[in-house]
Amino acid sequence: MNENAEWMLWNFVLDALKGGRSAAFIAVAAHEKGSPGKTGFKMAFTADKQSVGTIGGGIMEFSIREQYVLQLKNGKTFCDVRMLVHTPSTQRGEPSGLTCAGSETLCVVSLGESDIPTVSSILEALTEHRPAVLTVTADGIACSAGKQAPHSTFEQLSAFGWTYSENIGPDYTLYIVGGGHVGAALSRIAVRLNFYVVMYDERSTGQKDTASDEKKITDAYSRLASHIAEPQESFAAIVTSDVATDTIALKQLLPMSLPYIGIMGAEAKIARIKNSLSPGEQAEFERQHIYAPIGIRIDSGTADEIAVSIAAELITVRNRLSRR
């Protein structure tokens, strides 16, 4: 099953709508520092209080859900934009019930049977890794082909004149080069962190069944570059079984200017890899965004611990890129 959080949310909505139940969808369209709900957070729920996702949690989320559950139970439709301010009192928006500072703006829409085609299109885009844009307005939700920059936008001209749009699915693809224990563990984490995960291994038997990658590629490491269509939107974690294959994969990636290339191994192993490069390749190594040894330092030992350290580094780099 696809474990991407966004896919699970929309699949939940589709199941509800096909089962004859209406649903509520909420997206955090904007936020200020301190808010537990960040731009792009989403939640969906039905009248029986089944829900997927979050808009920040706590009494705020509980209260908002309760308000709209009641409207769903009464058969009402709605399409609201609300600014919740996380202070005890406020001169703008409405108090959220939280006191952590900041604010978040919510787009809240009811979904019914007529939205099944749109929700199906969103799921198809996620499943097929096809560029698409979700748009939420006072008229409801829409899905269109393409990709926008930045990832999300919000514009409000009036209480009824507002638009929130965002790219559907992950902005970045993570190529896990090497399908062993660490690769499998990393895929299980990364797919839930909103990366599109591609497991790449030259051995068809080398890719662990416990992995949660969304795509598998079996080909020689010497052909890795030919499978990366969008280098500027791709991360690579080199976690193969030995120095030779690590080096082959690295040489494929050096000319591509990826925003992140991580190489697993101790300092001595990394030194051996660098020493095997030509002078030109060594110069390129120093220019590129290479993280070696891969992962943040947490004294990791097991495959799962190593995967956690890598995931933390991936998040750090991705968040830095998103602030540019």
Q: For residue range 206-228, what is the model confidence (pLDDT) as tens digits?
A: 555 556 667 899 999 999 999 99
Q: What is the pLDDT of residue 169?
A: 87
In this predicted structure, the answer to whether residue 1 has a pLDDT above a threshold of 70 is: no
* Cβ atoms of 48 and 72 closer than 8 Å: no
Positive or negative, the CA dihedral 169, 173, 175, 181 is negative
Percent of the chain past pLDDT 70, that is, above it, reads 96
In this predicted structure, the answer to whether residue 146 has a pLDDT above a threshold of 50 is: yes
In this predicted structure, the answer to whether residue 258 has a pLDDT above a threshold of 90 is: yes
In this predicted structure, the answer to whether residue 5 has a pLDDT above a threshold of 90 is: no
User: Token pair of 128, please?
Assistant: 């097929």
Q: What is the pLDDT of residue 205?
A: 61
Prediction pTM value: 0.84
Q: Which residue has the higher pLDDT, 17 or 92?
A: 17
203 confidence band (pLDDT: 50, 70, 90): confident
Boundaries of every domain in the chain: 5-167, 173-322
In this predicted structure, the answer to whether residue 323 has a pLDDT above a threshold of 80 is: no
Among the listed residues 82, 84, 153, 111, the one whose alpha carbon sits nearest the alpha carbon of residue 21: 111
Q: What is the pLDDT of residue 105?
A: 97
CATH code at 173-322: 3.40.50.720
91 confidence band (pLDDT: 50, 70, 90): confident
User: Token pair of 183, please?
Assistant: 């690769």
Q: What is the pLDDT of residue 89?
A: 87
pLDDT tens profile 219-252: 999 999 999 999 999 999 999 989 999 999 999 9
Residues in the chain: 324
Query: Which neighbouring-strand residues pair with 181?
Result: none
In this predicted structure, the answer to whether residue 107 has a pLDDT above a threshold of 90 is: yes
pLDDT, mean over the chain: 93
